[in-house]
Chain A
Amino acid sequence: MSFNLHRFWAIVVKEFIQMRRDRFTFGMMVGIPMIQIILFGFAINSNPKHLPTAVYAADNSPFARTFVWALRNSSYFDIVRMARSAGEIRELLAEGDVQFAVTVPVDFSRQLLRGERPDLLLEADATDPAAVGFATAAISALTSSVLDPDLTGPLQRLRGSPPPFNLVIHPHYNPENISQYNIVPGLMGVMLTMTMVMITGLAITRERERGTMENLLSTPAHPGEVLLGKIIPYLTIGYAQVTLVLLASWLVFSVPMVGSIPLLLALALLFILANLAVGITFSTIAKNQLQAVQMAFFFFLPSLLLSGYMFPFRGMPGWAQALGEALPLTHFLRIVRGILLKGNGLAECAPDVWPIALFVIGMLALGIKRYRQTLD
């Protein structure tokens, strides 16, 4: 049978009519990508600047002040804290409150004036090598000439190379800047987000599409029973994924595992629950399985891009960071990296635990509210 233009056109017309009828899909296909292009276009920045930095100036000399001033001027560093001890610096780095910490040692200026080229310590939270790369490059370029304006008169001899002081950079937690250390544990969160949301997203819509919902509603089953009952089996799948990623991180990628694995497993439960709750809530909103998949996908994309998984979280503008803070993946990434690479305990994880818990409660409440007990 030969290709007939009329028949072909009949199909085209029919498809257009159906496309127009399915407003939701149409909106998803046109509207959401538009929003996302704008969102991600402005939010993503692989050369993050204004990274929070703490300074511990044991020697508060004009040289130290000039150096700090220069850091700020480089636009890579925002001095958010003047620390009072080395211990405070360590704490700030562990909890992820700052990306960098500068320590100006005692006697810095005296040694400098003597031409002894004292050490200046820059510590970085290098769990995500991409976040610190440009900044450390900038600071290295700065050392040779930063103090030149202060080195006048007889001090001019200290100018030039070698620079008057020695900048020591300590990339903590991932000293070799191996990006796998950051990516592989992060993948755990990404995989869970993708699969858990998708699979539970189908849960209620499948019942509705197959007509079994009417039957289920005519039984005494309550919304909470149905929703939780549908979530639980997938927890086991989630745990299987977590185990797989952990094994791969350990055996294949040799990712360091400094912290407590049981703690990670316990907190992973919360994160899996969060994603299942998103899925089940989508499932009560979507009219059919296709819509549920689309919604899952459009939840996944911001999670991937705004959580700090693909691009440094601190590179994003404030509003995008605020959006990212609302996503469970953002917090879970910090937890995973914190436990595996930094050896964080529950106390250090706590600031990222409660947002996920809040998210779970909110999502489940929304899901139960949206779950219609009648066919109205």
Chain B
Amino acid sequence: MNAIPPSAPPRSCVSADGLGGGAGAGLAIDVRGVTKKFGGRTVVNNIAMQVRHGEIYGFLGPNGSGKTTFLRMLCGLLTPDGGEGHCLGLDFRRKSSEIKKRVGYMTQRFSFYEDLTLEENLDFIARLYQIRGRKAAVQQSLERLGLAERRKQLAGTLSGGWKQRLALAACLIHEPQLLLLDEPTAGVDPKARRDFWDEIHRLAAGGLTFLITTHYMDEASRCHRLGYIAYGNLLAHGTVAQVVQAAGLTTWEVSGGNLSALADALRGRPGVEQVVAFGRTLHISGRDAGKMRASLTPFMTPALEWTKVESGLEDAFISLMETAKDNYQ
């Protein structure tokens, strides 16, 4: 299977809007051909993305694939080398100072002042955005994210989960319409992650739009739609089901017997692209179902239990990434 051409607009999106025309009237983000080069290296290559208002859009891809660069271009932190379009109805290449006022950007690395207290950090941000009724806004933001009791604590002494909450609170204080979150939950425990996502869904229900990068599959499946980027190219986008479908994988699950020996035997056989151990089972995936079946048949002994299963998101992503490597290297 080939990657979906990045320039093609996502079918699901344009048709579902029913709003077509205008500068992306129903779209929070509507950009095309976004390109960024560092030196001679293309880090983001001709990416198109459309995100609807109130949508949670998950942005996935391996490390160094260009996710952060793309986010930074959207909020004016990096100058794109190519591309056009709108962010919140504003020309994203020319109106970056206007966009900054309406967008909240949460950096991958904690980027607030560790030698300031929570309250002082929020107050600083509130002043920069010239928020009216600043004290009240800070107070409200502290309360909304359950930070009120720690208001006098230095940000540097917070644990990962609390830092991330502070960062979210600070991004929200100027009531942006769009939030760009760059791996917001890296290094955060599962409970805090779940709370964080509940909060995001609550905010999205209130009309806020999210573009979130993540490496976690469970988080990816909590997004309304996904985009998968590798080596600067957008390889697939759509709902979870659409992305899995786009990968065009067939997956077999096998259990019983000596699985690690079986895994070694299967790897490299024609049509077998992924062999992954999941506890007491093995998942074998490939894009050419017929070829794979032929390779597996000799191993389909009564000692082993074979079942055809749904391909997972992770299988799909790894397959997409491998394909991308074939295409671009």
Q: A211-B107, A212-B111 are known contacts. Are A218 and B125 too (CB-CB below 8 A)?
A: no
Of B72, B100, B109, the contact of A220 (CB 8 Å cutoff): B100
Task: Contact check, B77 vs A217: say whether CB atoms are below 8 A apart.
Answer: yes
Docked Cα-Cα span, A217 to B78, in Å, equals 10
Chain B residue, CB-CB nearest to A373:
B76
- The answer to the question of A215 belonging to the interface, with a C-beta cut-off of 8 Å to chain B, is yes
| B76: nearest chain-A partner, CB-CB | A374
Is A141 interfacial (CB 8 A cutoff)? no
Q: Specify which chain B residues have a CB less than 8 angstroms from the CB of A213 in the assembled complex.
A: 111
Contact A215 B107, beta carbon cutoff 8 Å: yes
| Whole-angstrom distance between the Cβ of A212 and the nearest chain B Cβ | 5
In the bound assembly, the distance between CA atoms of A183 and B48 in angstroms comes to 67
Q: Which of B75, B79, B109, B110 contacts A218 (CB 8 A)?
A: B75
- The verdict on A214 contacting chain B, using a C-beta distance below 8 Å, is yes
| Interface of A, helix, strand, loop or mixed by DSSP | loop
Q: Digitize A205-232: 1 where CB-to-B-CB distance is under 8 Å, 0 elsewhere.
A: 0000011111101111100000000000
Residues of B101-157 contacting chain A, CB below 8 A: 101, 103, 105, 107, 109-114, 125, 128-129
Within 8 Å by CB of B77, from A214, A220, A221, lies A214
B97 close to A (CB within 8 Å): yes
A219-B100, A219-B125, A375-B72 known; A212-B79 Cβ under 8 A = no
Contacts of A220 in B (CB 8 A): 97, 100-101, 128-129
Contact residues in B for A211 (Cβ distance below 8 Å)? 107, 109-111
A376 in contact (CB, < 8 A)? yes
Residues of A within 8 A of B75 (CB): 218
Q: Main SS of the interface on chain B?
A: loop
Interface size bucket, B side?
A: 20 to 34
Taking A210-B114, A215-B111 as contacts, is the C-beta distance between A221 and B128 under 8 angstroms?
yes
**CB pair B113 A212 closer than 8 Å:** yes
Contact residues, B54-87 vs A (CB, 8 A): 72, 75-79
8 Å CB contact of B128 from A214, A219, A376: A219
Closest to A212 in B: B111
A223 to chain B, nearest CB (A): 12
Contact, CB under 8 Å: A375 / B77 = yes
Taking a contact as CB atoms under 8 Å apart, the answer to whether A374 and B79 are in contact is yes
Assess whether A374 is in contact with B107, with CB atoms less than 8 Å apart: no
A213 to B105, CA, bound (A): 13
Bound Cα distance from A212 to B112, whole angstroms = 6
In the assembled complex, which residues on chain A have CB atoms less than 8 Å from the CB atom of B76?
218, 374
**How distant is A325 from chain B, measured CB to nearest CB, in Å?**
40
The reply to whether B114 and A214 contact each other, CB–CB distance below 8 Å, is no
Enumerate chain B residues within 8 angstroms of A215, measured Cβ to Cβ: 105, 107, 111-112
Whether A218 lies near B105 (C-beta < 8 A) is yes
Within 8 Å CB of B111, what residues of A? 210-215
Which residues of chain B have C-beta atoms less than 8 A from A376's C-beta?
78-79
Nearest CB on A from B260, distance (A): 36
A206 to chain B, nearest CB (A): 10
List of B residues within 8 angstroms of A221 by Cβ: 128
Report how far A211 CA is from B107 CA in the complex, Å. 9
In Å, the complex CA distance between A375 and B36 comes to: 13
- Residues from chain A with a CB closer than 8 A to the CB of B125 are 219
Q: Which residue of A lies closest to B73 (CB)?
A: A374
Q: How far is the CB of B202 from chain A (nearest CB, A)?
A: 23
How far is A217 from B105 in the complex, measured between Cα atoms in Å? 10
**B interface, CB within 8 angstroms of A:** 72, 75-79, 97, 100-101, 103, 105, 107, 109-114, 125, 128-129
- Give A contacts to B, CB under 8 Å: 210-215, 217-221, 374-376
CB-based closest 6 A-B pairs: A215-B111, A218-B105, A219-B128, A211-B109, A211-B111, A214-B107
Could you show 23 A-B contacts with beta carbons less than 8 Å apart? A210-B113, A211-B111, A212-B111, A212-B112, A212-B113, A213-B111, A214-B107, A214-B109, A214-B111, A215-B107, A217-B77, A218-B75, A218-B76, A218-B77, A219-B128, A219-B129, A220-B97, A220-B101, A221-B128, A374-B76, A374-B77, A375-B72, A375-B78
> Known pairs A210-B113, A220-B100, A220-B128. 6 more at Cβ < 8 A?
A212-B113, A215-B105, A221-B128, A374-B76, A374-B79, A375-B72
